[in-house]
């Protein structure tokens, strides 16, 4: 691998690490924000705060065009998805950190970590979708006026498959590197 190509890969890994950190932070903010919103809706008396004669309930139901039951259920489902995304972003951030520390993606440990990331990128969204569907079913039967909510995660399956294929390429690169220079791939 040329020095220019390795620099490009390292730059992409730095960007990946930064983006993973940003996604992690926003997932935590979304998680906490939805919890606070749910508590606020549960605790605030009917109608909520009044600002110039307009209540929060009035703003949500009139301007957003959704019922309070749908808003509450949407926040509960968003808590589940934000938690899953935070976990996935943390694993991705760890992969990029380890790859940058190794200086190359072509290590056996890096390939294993990429494979794990691919499996998690498929399993975590599948699990969160399942839990969200169960949550929706329970809440829509307990709370009146809950509209249908779409919470599919088809994109994550493709991303997970891409990570799994990339892990095989990285493992092959580690094998080739080990054959040419056994000391260079000390991580594996």
- Please report which residue ranges of the chain form alpha helices under DSSP H: 3-43, 56-58, 68-102, 108-142, 154-180
Range of 13-17, 49-53, 183-187 with top mean pLDDT: 13-17
- The stretch 121-148 carries a mean pLDDT of 89
**What is the C-alpha separation between 118 and 106, in angstroms, rounded?**
16
**What is the C-alpha separation between 76 and 95, in angstroms, rounded?**
30
- The stretch 76-100 carries a mean pLDDT of 95
Q: For residue 132, with 0-12 CB atoms within 10 Å meaning exposed, 13-18 middle and 19 or more buried, which class applies?
A: buried
Are the CB atoms for 30 and 82 separated by under 8 Å? yes
Are the CB atoms for 144 and 106 separated by under 8 Å? no
Q: Which of 106-110, 138-142, 168-172 has the lowest mean pLDDT?
A: 138-142
Query: Taking 90 as the threshold, does the pLDDT of residue 64 lie above it?
Result: no
From 13, 176, 39, 19, select the one nearest 95 (Cα to Cα).
Answer: 13
The contacts of residue 181 (CB under 8 Å, 6+ apart) are none
- The stretch 35-49 carries a mean pLDDT of 74
Q: Which residue has the higher pLDDT, 42 or 81?
A: 81
Q: Which of 14-18, 112-116, 132-136 has the lowest mean pLDDT?
A: 132-136
Tens digits of residue pLDDT in 16-32: 999 999 999 999 999 99
- Mapped onto helix, strand or coil, the DSSP state of residue 187 is coil
Between the alpha carbon of residue 96 and those of residues 16, 34, 43, 51, 54, the distances in Å are 6, 29, 42, 47, 48
pLDDT value at residue 188: 45
- The stretch 43-69 carries a mean pLDDT of 66
């Amino acid at each position: 691998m040329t020095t220019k190509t390795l620099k490009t890969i390292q730059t992409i890994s730095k960007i990946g690490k930064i983006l993973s950190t940003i996604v992690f932070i926003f997932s935590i903010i979304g998680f906490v924000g939805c919890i606070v919103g749910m508590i606020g809706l549960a605790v605030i008396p009917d109608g909520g705060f009044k600002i110039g004669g307009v209540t929060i309930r009035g703003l949500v139901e009139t301007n957003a065009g959704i019922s309070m039951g749908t808003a509450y259920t949407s926040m509960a489902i968003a808590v589940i998805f934000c938690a899953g995304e935070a976990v996935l972003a943390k694993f991705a951030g760890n992969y990029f950190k380890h790859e940058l520390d190794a200086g190359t993606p072509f290590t056996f440990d890096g390939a294993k970590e990429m494979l794990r990331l691919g499996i998690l990128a498929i399993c975590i969204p599948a699990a969160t979708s399942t839990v969200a569907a169960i949550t929706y079913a329970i809440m829509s039967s307990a709370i009146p006026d809950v509209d249908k909510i779409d919470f599919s995660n088809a994109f994550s399956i493709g991303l997970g498959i891409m990570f799994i294929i990339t892990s095989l390429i990285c493992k092959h690169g580690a094998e080739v590197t080990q054959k040419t220079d056994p000391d260079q791939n000390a991580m594996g």
